[in-house]
Amino acid sequence: MSAPMSGELSPQALPTEVSYEGALRPGSLSEFVGQEKVREQLGLLLGAAQIDGRTPDHILLAGPPGLGKTTLSMIVATELGVPLQQTSGPAIQHAGDLAAVLSALTPGEVLFIDEIHRMARSAEEMLYLAMEDFKVDIMVGKGAGATSVPLELAPFTLVGATTRAGLLPNPLRDRFGFTAHLEYYATSELEGVLSRAAGLLDFPLHDAGVVEIAGRSRGTPRIANRLLRRVRDYTLVHGTQPDERSVRAALSLYDVDEHGLDRLDREVLRIIVERFAGGPVGLSTLAASVGEEAETIESVVEPFLMRAGLIARSPRGRIATSLGWAHLGMAPPAH
Ligand SMILES: Nc1ncnc2c1ncn2[C@@H]1O[C@H](COP(=O)(O)OP(=O)(O)OP(=O)(O)O)[C@@H](O)[C@H]1O
């Protein structure tokens, strides 16, 4: 294989959006911005286990997407100085899939299962025993001749992540020694996330620009970092200053309004208001009307619109609040 000639870029040398996201991930608890309480709780749990020389209790990370669950699972492994194995609930469709992952773990390893609420039922039952006794029962053979063979596992720490803690069966939830509830970030915390990321990207964004992006990031670091990259693109291409004006121009180009609502959020709000006269409207009707998955509406759009006070939930469905009507420049009908 010939080495790339000077001036020629090898494909590996080209940074991608994914590698940017990886580069922005905090690598330790002390670099992790915000979520003060969770950081302290986790620090204590990991510190005590290290003093005792044992594997820490299993950890459940619960909270909306993009708040740092994957990042925290990596930090847990790094802080413990052990390898990390990653899988996800949808990848575990049979107990055998889980048995294969568990039996390959080395002592002390961290196993991260993202979207753990989407794992197959049969695998969930296998996981109970694995979490409690570091054992699994493997079924050998079929029908009347089937027998279960116990298999000892290396002690490990499970880190489960879920956006829907309520969907986890109690026996599974109870086997986690600690549940971290990740909350949406305060604007000041997002400013910290953005300043750190701007520094790593070598992008001298002005303080007013940091504040402007933080206010539009829906309490979510992943969104903050994404908007930051779009603003950086804008200043690179247009040769403008990394200031508040560039932030406004770039984010308006990408349809992110001053409250952080994007095209889909506004579409959902508009449909409730205009097509259903402010609601109530059921989730599946709403999802079909905007042409999106009900899961996306329920786990991404709705929590944000509710937190912003633009919609509310009633027993008969979603309704637009007076603030929601006002956001679209309309007044709710007089009753
Ligand atoms: N506390 C934080 N400080 C700095 N950056 C953060 C923080 N939390 C998350 N990030 C950044 O946000 C991005 C998204 O975080 P991460 O992938 O860990 O979220 P997640 O909760 O696992 O999301 P999902 O559930 O969608 O997988 C990461 O690339 C990371 O750079």
> Residue 298 sits in a domain of what CATH number?
1.10.10.10
Ranking 20-29, 43-52, 80-89 by mean pLDDT, the lowest is 20-29
Residue 157 appears among annotated catalytic residues: no
Q: Using one digit for the tens of pLDDT, what is the confidence trace for 297-331?
A: 988 899 889 999 999 999 999 999 999 999 999 99
Domain containing 193 equals: 187-253
For residues 180 and 190, what is the distance between their CA atoms, to the nearest angstrom? 19
For 272-281, what is the mean pLDDT?
95
Q: Confidence band (pLDDT; 50, 70, 90) for 6?
A: very low
335 assigned to some structural domain: no
This model of the complex carries an ipTM of 0.96
CATH number (domain holding residue 115): 3.40.50.300
CA distance 154 to 135: 9
CA distance 153 to 133: 9
72 Cα: distance to centroid of ligand 1 (angstroms): 8
User: Ligand 1: does its nearest atom lie under 6 Å from the Cβ of 32?
Assistant: yes
> At which of 134, 155, 181 does a domain end?
181
Ligand 1 neighbour 177 (Cβ under 6 A): no
Residues 49 and 104 in one domain: yes
Lowest mean pLDDT among 19-23, 81-85, 250-254: 19-23
- 228 in a structural domain: yes
What's the domain count of the chain? 3
Residue 72's pLDDT is what? 97
Specify the residue with its C-alpha closest to ligand 1, atom 15. Answer: 68
Nearest to 42 by CA among 149, 198, 159: 159
